[in-house]
Amino acid sequence: MAYPLPQSTSMGLQVRRLAHGLGAEVRGVDLLRLDAAAWEAIHAAWMEHLVLVFPQQRLTGLEFAAFSARFGALEVLGSYQGLDEYTDPACKGLMTVTNRRIRDEPSRTRAVGRSWHADRSFVPQAPIGTFLYCRELPDVGGDTMFSNQYMAYDSLSDGLKRVLTGLWAVHDVLGRQDSLVKALTPQELARKRAMDPPTAQPVVRIHEVTGKPALYVSEAVTTRFVDMSAEESQPLLKYLFRHSVDPTFTYRHAWHVDDVVMWDNRCAMHLALADFDPVQFRTMLRTSVVGAVTGRVVPSMPAGPEGLSSPAAT
């Protein structure tokens, strides 16, 4: 479905870097009125800075979805994840992420993203970009951190780069420990396993627009290397997890209501910090844009000694 936006013939777009690692603030633009030149400038800034912040936007949910859809087809996740009550009936690609109670039950989205990750890297066709629109914040906190995975890769030694080139890693959604997984019943867990089997992704991902290599593993869902056991994989994975979020590569975003933030999942990871009073409310509207197929499904492996996965033949 297309979400047409009114067009503008003029703009005074200004881009200001926010951190050494990544991130830029974009001002002088109304996301409701983007002509072709404005969109091209925003896209170029996105490719350069990986994370863009648009402060003081005044959008409805559907207008926010319309802006997101300028970058590609929106993912539809509500029914797929059993989260219909979190989606907008008028736009299935628009979700609410909140710690407010939903239907008098704790929100299943109240604690998502508490580990470093690139969104949905555990599916072969992971999203290229994610968009959040801030609607509600606690008095303090509720920040999101981002990390530049171009820098993470570039700063590795030449020897380790050679080791990682051509290596694939297994990304498994059920390896993460967020509220979505913890809230699943055994029946829902089995259904999710059937829907989201482990997926192998290249450890070094080549960005299809910039052509640049980026490290593509995360502590949230990466469990092992293909053709290796979890036990064999852990020493190198632990190093990569730690290295990938070196403070030099990061930007911490302190939200304001009406901020729109977009980031590139192909070359940036993020982390939603639990740095606020959970009795206060934090609410975001969320969209994501479908990407190309980069991964492949691999067989689920039985647990080996001490609960580690056994080696796979893939």
Q: Catalytic residue positions? A: 117, 119, 270, 286
214-236 in b/e form (b: 16+ CB < 10 A) is bbbbbbbbbbbbbbbbbeebbeb
Phi, psi of 170 (to 5 degrees): -90, 125
Residue 236 identity: L
Task: Find out whether 200 and 170 touch, Cβ atoms under 8 Å.
Answer: yes
Residues 6+ apart with CB under 8 A from 239: none
